[in-house]
Amino acid sequence: MVESQRRMVRGRRVIAVTGSAGKTSTTAMLAHALRALADGAKVQYDARNRMWSSLLRRFLVQSRRGTCSSSRVPAPPA
């Protein structure tokens, strides 16, 4: 993960999706699950890794080359 991305996810829970096959399908499945689990969740994933938005409370991003995929979701209630 490059330093700018590392700073954006510092202190947050991250799901990384890597490998040579199945990243897009896995990312789409995770996005669907996050939307279903978190009422009103906003999930963003972009296969070209063009959009990082601090306005989104929850996000899922997949790079085009599979170098970094991450997701931020809120911590579970204490």
Q: What are phi and psi of 76, to 5 degrees?
A: -65, 155
pTM metric for this prediction: 0.46
Q: Where are the beta strands (DSSP E) in the chain?
A: 59-62, 69-72
* Domains of the chain by residue range: 3-72
Is the pLDDT score of 69 beyond 80? Answer: no
CB distance 65 to 30 below 8 Å:
no
pLDDT digits (tens, 9 = 90+) for 33-48: 777 776 655 566 654 4
